[in-house]
Structure 1
């Protein structure tokens, strides 16, 4: 999650590489070019966006979670999102909520180290079919993420898995 965190907490939007396709989607969604949004001082990372809006990072994260993917929040790339909150654009505003899941007292992170023969299972198939896509709802039907999504209550999870908590 280092790249996600860096975009949310440290890097300034003007220093980020936004591909032309993402810039075109930004223009279409918001009626403003990416360049103009930067020049007008309308694009912030999570930290600076919270300060600009007079919100805590957690409050901004709550507002960001209400955005609609493809309309008020755009995916620029892997772990790279831009959302419109009030009258500004915030990069990776979801990170506050995501970080809180792992840092609040009483939480734990469980992980597994796995190995396999790359001749038998390619990375793309491990990632897509075994682990599953980031959105567990639409992940490959027999993947781990989709299986957990389908049976989350029986597993004793507090909430339904989603793109940010999967």
Structure 2
């Protein structure tokens, strides 16, 4: 008797290099919209890390999940890495995630803390790992993303605010 093929669920997450990981801690989605929005946030952060790792600010994954002012801001962040020939190496921790459902204008928001303590600055040319992005015992970055639904029905990050060393985020260990 031969084994029966079973369709496994498709994992559409953006694949990161083996030297880079993302720990995305978020509340359990309570409905389809919340699931879609939180999935988009996870994918948008993965797209950012993917682009920072080497594909650069013109990585097509960025425009798949980011738009408008947020796309401009994230491309600037990515260029800061690639302009110095650096790549992130380690695990980015996203925690303290809060979700606000779409308002009357159809905009949802997700806020979270990012801890870059376990992400090192790697030299893209020499592959030598440098210092951590975030020093020990310092608070993380508090980020708020605004998401809107595009004409094709997909959610995209349309606006972003960041506050480094925010008292809203626990200090890294």
Q: TM-score, normalised by structure 1?
A: 0.23
Structure with higher RCO (Cα < 8 A, 6+ apart) = 2
Higher helix share: 1
Q: TM-score, normalised by structure 2?
A: 0.22
